Structure 1
Amino acid sequence: MGQIRNILFVMYDQLRHDYLSCAGHPTMRTPNFDRLAAMGVRFSHVYVQSPICGASRMSFYTGRYVHSHGAAWNNFPLKVGEMTLGDHLRPLGVDSWLIGKTHMKADAAGMARLGLAPDSVIGARVADCGFDVWVREDGLVAEGPEGFYDTKRSPYNEWLKSKGYPAENSWHVHANSGVDEQGDIASGWLLSNSLLPANIREDDSETPWLTSQALDFLADQSGKAPWLCHLSYIKPHWPYIVPAPYNTLYSAADVVPVVRSDAERVGAHPVFDAFMNNQPGQAFSKDGVRETVIPAYMGLIAQCDDQFGRLLDHLETTGQMDSTMIVLTSDHGDYLGDHWMGEKDLFHDPSVRIPLIIYDPRAQADGTRGTVCDALVEAIDLAPTFVEAMGGTPATHVLEGRSLVPWLHGQTPDWRDAVFSEYDYSGMAIAGNLGLSPREARLFMVFDGRWKLIHAEGGFRPMLFDLDTDPDELTDLGALPRHAEVIARLERRLADWARRPAQRTTISDETIVTMRGKSRRHGIIIGAWEAEDLAPDLRAKLQGKPAHDYRGV
């Protein structure tokens, strides 16, 4: 075991915190994820800063809360000037690379205002979340009546064409669709097709393709500068369809019971009610949908796990395991029918809580290998963890998370008493249906380890859950007067958090302390009545005779 030279930062899209066998899932088998957990620390209570792809990822990459960086929903641009992982690591001599997805939208107007050309080195980094790009593939090659969702060129789609797949959009026709009994395309967008095998050779599907890209990167970097590689997978995110043999690996018998109650629909919070009744919520509330979709979701995870094994085997075979920190996580979870919901979006644990496993190769971490840490962790903690792991000092006036290195090394640091998450749903039809302005369509979560409060702008009451007595979050206590004191306490905690100096990022607290009183020593003397009120050295430049007296001229 030596020092950390490289960091492999692996993210899976929409992977629930409880769909790993090492996290206790009774039927899901993830031997390679478990293999990493045996080598490192599994953090069991980790929360994203927003339960939606784009906003969550921008918090991972900046180490900042959502209303600090401002990219509050998918395709909300990350403003020019926000520091990202690459900005923190490059001064330490560490390159920062991307393989896969970021869901980042560039601030094109800001770049143009500052004269940053997208094809320049700096411009390209600003446009790709601070990373140098090995390959960027967001895996969103969807097409509707008004065109493609993502108009950027898809490297994966181009690669499929080079392999002989004939469709113009092979991402949809082959990688994310099956074939029905009539020989027609059975689109993966339709949940009823989830159990069909995707119409693609398994080796050519998205997850193996991206793993091969990563292996090519690892081979290319031999002997080069230290690096952080963000390997960001598209799966097990929808469309829920997977190639053979993974489509038959699990069946309805492997699906765990749903977590929901009829009482959740009675007097439901208006925002919760609106999400329960959107299209994903209605679909996952139907009989048989979970039994069709979840085996495919589990198959996608199994494929991810197998491909992760390829990476671990390569690192071991090449001797890089002893100098590479490995991180496994997700950008958010997936309701999968729990709480009458599909997708993500709200703050129940299936959506806002994520898996996190960290392997630190250094000897200082030997005592924590194979352990579980129950501390309250936020996604923004990874950025300062990476900086400290590579020998730097996290810039605490910019990075709002806290380094996890002490936990990895068996220490018990002074730690946070609550975690926070935000959700801006102003761009969704739901906000319009509720009659909300963009400023009103926002939710905030504060969770202190027992009580979870969801504050809703727009004049709505809060939601409140007691996870000690109701770990499944089935009973909303927010309307009950007897919990007014708890609600008031958590609202104050949320207000304290909101008052942090989030935008003071150009000067550190340490620099501010050294500035105290310095203006007087540079001649700015305010409020003195006479020279004797000042120390001799402060008044020295104020006294003496002028070279000439012009008053009588």
Structure 2
Amino acid sequence: MTKNVLFIMCDQLRWDYLSCAGHPGLETPHIDALAKRGVRFDRAYVQSPICGPSRMSFYTGRYVSSHGSTWNSIPLKVGEMTLGDHLRPLGVRTALCGKTHMAADAEGMKRLGLAPDSTIGALVAECGFEPYERDDGLHPSTSYGKRNKNYDDFMKERGWEDENPWDSVANSGEDQDGNILSGWFLDNSDLKARAADEESETPYITRRAMDFIEEAGDTPWCLHLSYIKPHWPYIVPAPYHDMYPPETHSPVLRHDGEKDDPHPVFGAFMEERVSKAFTNQTTRTKVIGAYMGLIKQIDDQMGELMAFLDAKGLRDDTLIVFTSDHGDYLGDHWLGEKELFHDPSARIPLIVMDPSPEADATRGTVSNALVEAIDVAPTILDYFGGQEVPHIIEGKSLRPLMHGKQEALRDFVVSEYDYSMRQVRRRLGVSVADAKLTMLFDGRWKYVFAEGFRPMLFDLETDPNEFHDLGGDPAYAAECDRLQALFFQWTRRISQRTTMSDAEIERRGADLNEARAGIIIGFPTEADLEAALEADKKPPS
């Protein structure tokens, strides 16, 4: 039997925008079917609520403050081990179809003499994945995204001669007079994209994933299928563009009291342009309809992909992970985008289907264990029979939970955010070094340490919508102190000693190892040394 892994990630998909998670107006039968065959982890959190650092944590199994890629376009250090680095020695072909948001450490590669176009250089520059087809999406007229020539060629074959069909076709619509209207503008979200369904990004990259699986044959593989959507631009082709009228939308989660003397950082994020845009109900309604349509398109493609795996006889040998890199506020809490730690932003969908017979007892169940994005990498490594490397990977395999051998992995989850790049920092007058937020959630209390400010605190037992920040209330000072102590405990972990395991240190640290190596400090005479070595040979009584 050849083992394989299909690691599926959506971009900016909220945890609660699936019918299996309780969305009232959106049916996602194919994703739901995957949940029925595996375990849906209901309390999964990202290590950072923004694309780049979140993905680097997924790919390394390490917290953001460990790997150091704290915001989009901040490179992942050239020495950081990624999923591919752990899997390739096991004979597993580890490849990418879609997005990584990886920024290569060009300076580090240059210093080490790694050419970007060399085999090793390409892997280092792509988070350890073989770039079968990288497609981060292309931002118009900027260097932010990487141009996908394969997609351009595909669209030309379809008759589109546009210079950038990703922008002007897949992510634009038309008015009644045929004028092209960009999907980047939120009020165009209710238009149907100019591209046909099969021409848009989600079906295209699904087909490319199928191409990879066909090509891989009997070689064990781990494929990271990473969709660009439902991340903005919020625009979707027919028939998805008008499937979801306002009566199917979830009500907005916000409270007028949140605007009364808010935490300074929270208040500053409310002033962001995108946050203000989502306070307009007309705009928000258009975006929500498109967002739901984009998710429905993904679900339909999941149906195509699962049918393909069945036809190839691969379903029983393939571990499948379905998740997202973070959520989307969509106007909740008076915010747009992501970046802070309310559940719409930091909580993610996570479904894992382990085909092993040991997982049969938990199929179709929902786990309330606190899990983190960094748990995905060790779960995949575990499935392929790799050894645990806790001195490198800080996450924990989910398979013991799925095999009914364990009920919990940890007492709290942690997420970090560096807002130094944002205008919020400048408005608050905070230095680059101090623009840090860290969230700790223990299953009831969500605590946010904000450098230079009071903490934020939410009691999700009595306030599940996180409307009431208790961090400034003296009545909850003891709770803040308790959680701060946990946070301080977490910050004292050893995370940078990745070149030697605890077991190796234990082996080397035996009492007389130094003496055997010729370092004999501490012995008054040679006779004392010989006596100690002789005594060490005797078994303990």
CA deviations over 1:184-221 (Å, ceiling 9, x no partner) = 11111111111110011111011010011011111111
Map of 2:199 onto structure 1: 204
Q: Offset of 1:418 from its aligned partner? A: 0.2
**Residue 162 (structure 1) aligned with residue 160 (structure 2):** no
User: In structure 1, which of residues 367, 392, 399 is the aligned counterpart of residue 393 of structure 2?
Assistant: 399
Map of 2:48 onto structure 1: 50
**Residue 264 (structure 1) aligned with residue 271 (structure 2):** no
Distance 1:390 1:513 in 2: 27
CA deviations over 1:356-376 (Å, ceiling 9, x no partner) = 111111111111111111100
Distance 1:290 1:222 in 2: 45
User: What amino acid is aligned across from residue 515 of structure 1 in structure 2?
Assistant: R
Is the 8 Å Cα contact of residues 98 and 136 (structure 1) preserved in structure 2? yes
User: What amino acid is aligned across from residue 502 of structure 1 in structure 2?
Assistant: S
Distance 2:465 2:498 in 1: 39
Distance 1:392 1:371 in 2: 26
Q: Secondary structure at the match of 1:534?
A: helix
User: What amino acid is aligned across from residue 205 of structure 2 in structure 1?
Assistant: L
Q: Offset of 1:437 from its aligned partner? A: 1.4
User: In structure 2, which of residues 466, 473, 476 is the aligned counterpart of residue 473 of structure 1?
Assistant: 466
Aligned-pair identity in percent equals: 56
Map of 1:549 onto structure 2: none
Distance 1:346 1:4 in 2: 41
Is the 8 Å Cα contact of residues 4 and 389 (structure 1) preserved in structure 2? no
Map of 2:539 onto structure 1: none
Is the 8 Å Cα contact of residues 4 and 362 (structure 1) preserved in structure 2? no
Q: Secondary structure at the match of 1:160?
A: helix
Q: Secondary structure at the match of 1:181?
A: coil
Q: Offset of 1:183 from its aligned partner? A: 2.1
User: What amino acid is aligned across from residue 200 of structure 1 in structure 2?
Assistant: A
User: In structure 2, which of residues 176, 185, 190 is the aligned counterpart of residue 181 of structure 1?
Assistant: 176
CA deviations over 1:371-403 (Å, ceiling 9, x no partner) = 111100000001111111001112110000000
**Residue 442 (structure 1) aligned with residue 442 (structure 2):** no
**Residue 365 (structure 1) aligned with residue 362 (structure 2):** no
Distance 2:494 2:341 in 1: 25
Distance 1:15 1:109 in 2: 33
Distance 1:240 1:479 in 2: 37
Distance 1:353 1:171 in 2: 29
Is the 8 Å Cα contact of residues 14 and 333 (structure 1) preserved in structure 2? yes
Is the 8 Å Cα contact of residues 251 and 295 (structure 1) preserved in structure 2? yes
Q: Secondary structure at the match of 2:432?
A: coil
Is the 8 Å Cα contact of residues 137 and 155 (structure 1) preserved in structure 2? no
Q: Which moved more, 1:285-294 or 1:56-65?
A: 285-294
**Residue 513 (structure 1) aligned with residue 506 (structure 2):** yes
Is the 8 Å Cα contact of residues 4 and 325 (structure 1) preserved in structure 2? no
Q: Secondary structure at the match of 1:143?
A: coil
- For this pair of structures, how many residues does the alignment match? 533
Q: Offset of 1:432 from its aligned partner? A: 1.6
User: What amino acid is aligned across from residue 347 of structure 1 in structure 2?
Assistant: F
**Residue 499 (structure 1) aligned with residue 467 (structure 2):** no
Q: Offset of 1:149 from its aligned partner? A: 2.2
Distance 1:447 1:162 in 2: 50
User: In structure 2, which of residues 186, 189, 212 is the aligned counterpart of residue 191 of structure 1?
Assistant: 186
User: What amino acid is aligned across from residue 335 of structure 1 in structure 2?
Assistant: Y
Is the 8 Å Cα contact of residues 58 and 69 (structure 1) preserved in structure 2? yes
User: What amino acid is aligned across from residue 159 of structure 1 in structure 2?
Assistant: F
User: In structure 1, which of residues 271, 285, 290 is the aligned counterpart of residue 284 of structure 2?
Assistant: 290
Is the 8 Å Cα contact of residues 136 and 155 (structure 1) preserved in structure 2? no
User: In structure 1, which of residues 314, 319, 335 is the aligned counterpart of residue 329 of structure 2?
Assistant: 335
Is the 8 Å Cα contact of residues 77 and 107 (structure 1) preserved in structure 2? yes
Q: Secondary structure at the match of 1:377?
A: strand
Q: Secondary structure at the match of 1:148?
A: coil
In the TM superposition, 1:304-323 aligns within 5 A as 304-323=298-317
Is the 8 Å Cα contact of residues 78 and 105 (structure 1) preserved in structure 2? yes
Is the 8 Å Cα contact of residues 89 and 387 (structure 1) preserved in structure 2? yes
Q: Offset of 1:4 from its aligned partner? A: 6.4
Distance 2:196 2:123 in 1: 34
**Residue 527 (structure 1) aligned with residue 522 (structure 2):** yes
Distance 2:400 2:105 in 1: 36
Map of 1:550 onto structure 2: none
Distance 1:154 1:233 in 2: 17
Map of 2:538 onto structure 1: none
Which ranges in structure 1 are unaligned for 5 or more consecutive residues?
A: 541-553
Q: Offset of 1:238 from its aligned partner? A: 0.4
Q: Normalising to structure 2: TM-score of the pair?
A: 0.96
**Residue 489 (structure 1) aligned with residue 482 (structure 2):** yes
Map of 2:67 onto structure 1: 69
Which ranges in structure 2 are unaligned for 5 or more consecutive residues?
A: 536-541
User: In structure 1, which of residues 94, 97, 100 is the aligned counterpart of residue 98 of structure 2?
Assistant: 100
How well do the aligned residues superpose, as a CA RMSD in angstroms? 1.4
Q: Offset of 1:531 from its aligned partner? A: 3.6
User: In structure 2, which of residues 381, 384, 387 is the aligned counterpart of residue 390 of structure 1?
Assistant: 384
Q: Offset of 1:255 from its aligned partner? A: 0.9
Q: Offset of 1:408 from its aligned partner? A: 1.2
Distance 2:75 2:514 in 1: 39
Q: Which moved more, 1:26-35 or 1:520-529?
A: 520-529
Q: Normalising to structure 1: TM-score of the pair?
A: 0.94
User: In structure 1, which of residues 127, 139, 142 is the aligned counterpart of residue 139 of structure 2?
Assistant: 142
Is the 8 Å Cα contact of residues 412 and 440 (structure 2) preserved in structure 1? yes
**Residue 122 (structure 1) aligned with residue 117 (structure 2):** no
Map of 1:80 onto structure 2: 78
Is the 8 Å Cα contact of residues 454 and 463 (structure 1) preserved in structure 2? yes
**Residue 430 (structure 1) aligned with residue 424 (structure 2):** yes
Higher-Rg member (1/2): 1
User: What amino acid is aligned across from residue 490 of structure 2 in structure 1?
Assistant: W
Map of 1:89 onto structure 2: 87
Q: Which moved more, 1:188-197 or 1:163-172?
A: 163-172
Q: Offset of 1:535 from its aligned partner? A: 3.9
Q: Which moved more, 1:412-421 or 1:264-273?
A: 412-421
